[in-house]
A and B are shown apart, each in its own frame.
Chain A
């Protein structure tokens, strides 16, 4: 790579030493630890609140009545009510969001399990006992992710139509598997790479079999990574709209599809929209915060630790 890191000594110092003395985390002896920090803290908090306002406003409005939700200026101090949630769950319309939520959960969980079943062995063959030219294989996986979904959606639609798989949640789950598999392989490879070579060698010398090595050496190190990969794949599947819109209908429609068809042109619906957005986003918020520690490594496909 052409970028040279000017902070790393390039010549005359023996490589390994130079790498070893580079601290991974900042030292305690940072100069002037208090300078500017109050200002930076205030600025950071102001910006953080600005970014959070739409989310906080969504949550607050979801607990308002429809009349309080649609006022100008906004009625921040209006009384709280669960009416919007009751309405979202079909109190007066009789249209329940549960089928779509269950469809989303089915497609997301099914595809996540399948992704892990396919990605973990693949990552093993790319990291722990790598095949020759494993980098080419990695590139191939990633390149499939770079092909926009729209470029493949028509043939998938035609196939589904002719094979009777249209409006079938399991077929959508298969599509989500292919959507997430390349990312999952990259993530899992990065997590499996953290298994120390020495431990693998030691296990081999001690005559441990494949299963024992996997269970006692690989699994303990890779488990948090597997969990994070699963959570991120779940999020991507749960969020997906284009494929779901094209490939599903009344039976297998997912929560995002339900959301798009939910806004009516009549009457006040703002509180209901906010309640719907909160309910549909809750699983993602939980999954995201649960994966927070590994979120960066996962989302950057293992390039950033």
Chain B
């Protein structure tokens, strides 16, 4: 709790005697302190909280903009439909599968890369820069590249490389893949793992480099194997960084729209909830249904977010205490 005490000292002297005058002054001072905060707070409440209240209201309505005569109160009808309609159920499953697999795979890959980049070798800076590049390609552009330049069954880089390797051995019947139609969800997951691994790597590398080396050296001196050091010293230290990376990644990947929209347009069971909602209101004009699905997403996110907030906060307190 070093942070708390440090913070208190920033509060200055507020130990005035509880006379009425002093109390009024204190209250005025509190407002002076609050003033710089208010524009940001008010702006956010208007732009994010109000629309959500409206979404909540619409979610209990029958409202299809194409047939306005049916507009009216619907009760929980929309929610029942979201939780029973195969399209939405599939979207819920897809969202969970996509988020969990992308987060786990990019965390593992990111951990491996961070461990490698933690060692000194020639050109480490350049290797790190190359590794960050995927994260810095505009997501839509990245999805387009994956779809047309890499996964395309006719002239994509993967099939092209297979043809080339097989031709080296004199074969003109190379195996060819078509991930976009045979395993479209996997195709989306691969492209997202490619984009998010650098993010995880950066956070884990920072975690590795904040590791106190004296204990590692002591363990090495005592003859601990590299695996034992990793298992009992490095991994426990990294735990919070793993959690932080995982939860921040999850917040963004749950909301992914760009990759699904570009790679498959939600076809073949790849529509996640954001895409399903987009389709429901943008193409099907089912405003009530889309809103109910939106509320379901928010409830799901709140559950995950409760953990996220705790982790982010504990780590950030620890860093501040240094």
Q: Which of B148, B155, B244, B309 contacts A300 (CB 8 A)?
A: B244
**What size tier do the contact residues of chain A reach?**
35 or more
**Closest CB in chain B relative to A174 CB, distance in Å:** 7
User: Which B residues are CB-close (under 8 A) to A182?
Assistant: 44
Whether A125 contacts B315 by the Cβ 8 Å rule is no
Query: Are A24 and B322 CB-contacts (below 8 A) given A31-B221, A147-B298?
Result: yes
Tell me, yes or no, whether B104 is within 8 Å of chain A by CB: no
**A304 lies within 8 A of B150 (CB):** no
- B137–A277 contact, CB under 8 A? yes
CA distance A150 to B127 in the complex (A): 37
B166 to chain A: closest residue by CB = A73
Closest Cβ–Cβ distance, residue A146 to chain B (whole Å): 4
Complex CA–CA separation, A51 to B16 (angstroms): 61
Interface digits, B298-317 against A, CB 8 Å rule (1 contact, 0 not)? Answer: 10011001001110111111
Please measure, in the bound complex, the distance between the C-alpha atom of A131 and the C-alpha atom of B257, giving whole angstroms: 37
Distance, CA A22 to CA B121, complexed state (A)? 25
In the complex the two chains form, what is the Cα distance from A174 to B47 in whole Å? 9
**B141 and A277 form a contact (CB under 8 A):** yes
Given that A242-B278, A277-B141 are known contacts, is A304 also in contact with B119, CB under 8 Å in the complex? Answer: no
Q: Is the CB of A44 within 8 A of B211?
A: no
Chain B: interface residue total (CB-CB under 8 A) = 135
Contact with B along A123-166 (1 / 0, CB 8 A): 01110111110110101111111111111111111110000000
Q: Which of A3, A29, A154, A178 contacts B48 (CB 8 A)?
A: A178
Decide if B133 touches A52 in the complex (CB within 8 Å): yes
CA distance A124 to B116 in the complex (A): 39
Bound state CA distance, A292 and B127, in angstroms? 14
B164 pairs with A288, CB closer than 8 A: no
In contact, A304 and B43 (Cβ under 8 angstroms): no
CB-CB nearest in chain B for A262: B144
* A215 part of interface (Cβ distance < 8 Å): no
- Given A118-B39, A241-B261, check contact A274 B122 (CB 8 Å): no
Q: Is the CB of B194 within 8 A of A51?
A: yes
**Contact string, A44-75, partner B, CB cutoff 8 A, digits 1/0?**
11011101111101100100000001111110
In the assembled complex, the CB of B226 is this many whole angstroms from the nearest CB of chain A, namely: 8
- A140 to B287: give the CA distance in the assembly, Å: 28
A168 to B139, CA, bound (A): 23
Stretch at the interface among B17-25, B66-74, B75-83, B231-239: B231-239
CA distance A265 to B302 in the complex (A): 41
In contact, A51 and B294 (Cβ under 8 angstroms): no
Decide: A7 and B237 in contact? CB cutoff 8 A.
yes
Which residues of A from 226 to 283 have beta carbons under 8 Å from B?
235, 238-239, 241-242, 245-246, 255-256, 259-260, 263, 269-270, 273-274, 276-278, 280-281
Within 190-209 of A, Cβ neighbours of B (below 8 Å) are at 190, 193, 197, 200
| Closest A residue, CB atoms, query B48 | A144
Does A303 count as interface, using CB distance less than 8 angstroms? yes
* Nearest-CB residue, chain A, relative to B50: A155
A141 to B202, CA, bound (A): 24
Docked pose: A236 CA to B129 CA in angstroms: 20
Chain A residues, CB < 8 A from B10: 128-130, 197, 200
Cβ B48 vs Cβ A146 within 8 A: no
**Which listed residue, B40, B123, B159, B274, touches A122 by the CB 8 Å rule?**
B40
A288 to B195, CA, bound (A): 14
Tell whether, in the assembled complex, residue A274 and residue B145 are in contact, meaning their CB atoms are under 8 Å apart.
yes
Which of A118, A155, A281, A292 is most buried by chain B, counting CB atoms within 10 A of its CB? A155
Nearest residue, chain A, Cβ from B315 = A303
Quick one: which of A52, A190, A301 contacts B131, CB cutoff 8 A? Answer: A52
Known interface pairs A241-B258, A302-B316; A30-B217 also in contact (CB < 8 Å) = yes
Tell me the minimal C-beta distance from B311 to chain A in angstroms.
Answer: 8
Whether B322 and A19, one on each chain, are in contact in the complex, defined by CB atoms closer than 8 angstroms, is yes
What string of 1s and 0s marks CB contacts (under 8 Å) between B59-97 and chain A? Answer: 000000000000000000000000000000000000000
Q: Which residues of B approach A to under 8 Å, CB–CB?
A: 2, 6-7, 9-12, 30, 33-37, 39-41, 43-44, 47-52, 54-55, 58, 112-113, 116-117, 119-124, 127-142, 144-146, 148-150, 152, 154-155, 157, 159-161, 163-164, 167, 194, 197-199, 202-203, 205-207, 209-215, 217, 220-221, 232-233, 236-237, 239-241, 244-245, 248, 251, 254-255, 257-258, 261-262, 273-274, 277-278, 281-282, 287, 290-291, 294-295, 297-298, 301-302, 305, 308-310, 312-322
28 contacts between A and B (CB under 8 A): A1-B240, A24-B322, A25-B209, A40-B116, A43-B116, A45-B127, A52-B133, A57-B145, A70-B154, A73-B164, A137-B37, A140-B41, A142-B312, A144-B48, A150-B273, A151-B55, A151-B297, A158-B54, A181-B43, A185-B40, A281-B136, A284-B137, A285-B137, A296-B203, A300-B244, A303-B316, A303-B319, A304-B315
| 19 additional A-B residue pairs with CB within 8 Å, beyond A57-B149, A181-B44, A273-B148 | A3-B236, A37-B121, A41-B119, A54-B149, A71-B160, A72-B160, A73-B167, A119-B40, A122-B37, A124-B36, A126-B37, A151-B55, A154-B54, A182-B44, A242-B258, A260-B262, A300-B244, A300-B248, A303-B316
Complex A-B, nearest 9 residue pairs according to Cβ-Cβ distance, in ascending order: A41-B121, A121-B36, A277-B141, A1-B314, A178-B47, A151-B294, A73-B164, A155-B54, A288-B136
